[in-house]
Structure 1
């Protein structure tokens, strides 16, 4: 496994990170908690040391499962969680008010069973709360020793400029993959200039870039990824399939899974620290970790880029 320093922090994180949205059990279909724990532990055994979670994933369920899985292994992992998305029944409410964050962080610490969170991230912006109020509270919580480093998720360049003028931010977690490249225009260059690390989510395009789908899938009850990601709808679906064919060719050449090609493309983009990848089984965790053992050649990267431009042209993928 390769490791990179996350932004200006002293955190050395695996280039393949573990995303836990799927194990929350309320968005990606049914999950088995025992298997989820085994999956996290297998990921750790394979060298993945960054585990990214959030209270919003299963209304605290993913955090509880992570907490169970890391018992006796705390020294082997870097724990990243989030604040700012509060559940009210089926609704997701953005709330970055200071009193809400104070409550959230204490609940996260308890569910995770840790004394301190390594990376605490604002999950989504909240336009109803002044960012300064949020930052002031987060600074106090960091000074109180509840978390070590501050990161943000889903911030555009304007918000990045705003928050970095107030306090140090070591990372941004945006959606980024071969199917969603919107950050390349302005937010990625901003982070590169400032030495801010990038943790990508959706790195495999909701599973499309693994090559496992030969036709448009019909997801089980409770698996709503096609509502969140637009790639399952035309015309993006057909174009994604053309791109996957190119990834499959390269995968066959190097004798690796298609998912490795997609993960390594993300990881080899300038400024990216870690590709977060969601998994539901120990076998998936082990396979994805293997992407951290090798890299694409320059020729392969150029071939993927040429194919992307031919298939998608200059279309905005947002």
Structure 2
């Protein structure tokens, strides 16, 4: 596994995004299965786990606390505040007092004294980013978190935040079919010494090649059904890209998922990836991709095949775009 820096830490370039164990993609796995997957990840050498207060409205943090607390010294723990469940609804709230209260609750659920990397999950447009980051800086001073991150923000917001306190990481969606980070944030991260953490590096399952008909394969509560590029008409066009993509993977002897992850890591050395999965088989498959180094000509072939000009449909609907700060093509 390649190893990369994130703030004061050095971890495997591929970590584990834990959201799907509790949240977002339909019915989550049973607790026993989720716990087993987390233990397998540890056994396979994963040393970077990513969760959030939002996931399962606290249930995901509690799961990680129950399963991973005895091994706390063996991994870097990341969680998020600023977007939580309140009375059964998702709420974005970046007020300093809310962020500090969320951290206190998270520490209890995670069964730890300190969170290694704590992200502002969403920029609350009603609260200056300087105020939200200032509250996180207080938590660093108090020893409750070790490093600060931001999620789904623009380069401008990153620079404003970094002026208040060094930002160790920016986490945003990034994959062959979600390239908005290339507009400005990837370069801003590089200039500031900030790691970039790619969530959904497998295109929310698209790049694995197993999702052929979202309308019939996904349950009604799966968040992908509200994303324009997963609509029947758009997806029918997007899936046509996979034949050539899978041909390239086969030529190289990799799975579709491994090729997608290797592409992300090949983009720049300050990028890490946190694919999520509920499958032990897919977990091991994903981690193996951390050993792959793609030749420049392969990266160029993939760039030309799947990009913002060849993918049909936006990554989010209008309501979600109104809540995030990232640049858009």
* TM-score bracket for the superposition, by shorter chain length: over 0.9
Paired residues of 1:40 and 1:285 also in contact (CA < 8 A): no
Distance in 2 between the 1:217 and 1:262 partners? 23
SS at match of 1:165: helix
- Quote the offset at 1:30 in angstroms: 3.2
- Quote the offset at 1:34 in angstroms: 0.9
Look up the match of 2:141. 143
Structure 2 CA distance for partners of 1:259 and 1:131, relative to 1, 3 Å: same
SS at match of 2:165: coil
> What are the residue-to-residue correspondences of 1:82-101 with 2, within 5 Å?
82-101=80-99
Are residue 174 (structure 1) and residue 172 (structure 2) matched?
yes
Distance in 2 between the 1:160 and 1:166 partners? 10
Look up the match of 1:15. 13
Look up the match of 2:213. 215
Distance in 1 between the 2:171 and 2:269 partners? 12
Are residue 54 (structure 1) and residue 52 (structure 2) matched?
yes
Distance in 1 between the 2:279 and 2:161 partners? 37
Structure 2 CA distance for partners of 1:314 and 1:104, relative to 1, 3 Å: closer
Look up the match of 1:24. 22
Q: What do the CA deviations read for 1:170-215 (whole angstroms, capped 9, x no partner)?
A: 1100111111101111121111121210001111111111011233
Distance in 2 between the 1:217 and 1:66 partners? 31
Scaled by the length of structure 2, the TM-score of the pair is 0.89
Scaled by the length of structure 1, the TM-score of the pair is 0.92
Q: Which portions of structure 1, spanning 4 or more consecutive aligned residues, are displaced by more than 6 angstroms?
A: 313-317
SS at match of 2:55: coil
- Quote the offset at 1:239 in angstroms: 4.1
Please provide the CA RMSD for this pair. 2.1
Structure 2 CA distance for partners of 1:117 and 1:313, relative to 1, 3 Å: closer
Distance in 2 between the 1:16 and 1:40 partners? 14
Structure 2 CA distance for partners of 1:298 and 1:132, relative to 1, 3 Å: closer
Moved more, 304-313 or 151-160: 304-313
Look up the match of 1:123. 121
Distance in 1 between the 2:176 and 2:233 partners? 16
Which 5+ residue runs of structure 1 have no aligned equivalent?
A: none
Distance in 2 between the 1:158 and 1:314 partners? 27
Number of equivalenced pairs: 315
> What are the residue-to-residue correspondences of 1:1-318 with 2, within 5 Å?
1-6=1-6, 9-25=7-23, 27-218=25-216, 219-227=218-226, 229-233=227-231, 236-308=234-306, 312=310, 318=328
Paired residues of 1:30 and 1:222 also in contact (CA < 8 A): no
Q: What do the CA deviations read for 1:249-295 (whole angstroms, capped 9, x no partner)?
A: 12212322110001111111125421110111222211211111222
Paired residues of 2:76 and 2:116 also in contact (CA < 8 A): yes
Distance in 2 between the 1:79 and 1:63 partners? 10
SS at match of 1:285: helix
Paired residues of 2:58 and 2:109 also in contact (CA < 8 A): yes
Distance in 2 between the 1:107 and 1:316 partners? 35
Distance in 2 between the 1:150 and 1:80 partners? 10
Q: What do the CA deviations read for 1:21-40 (whole angstroms, capped 9, x no partner)?
A: 11124543232111111111
Moved more, 19-28 or 192-201: 19-28
SS at match of 1:300: helix
- Quote the offset at 1:74 in angstroms: 1.3
SS at match of 2:299: helix
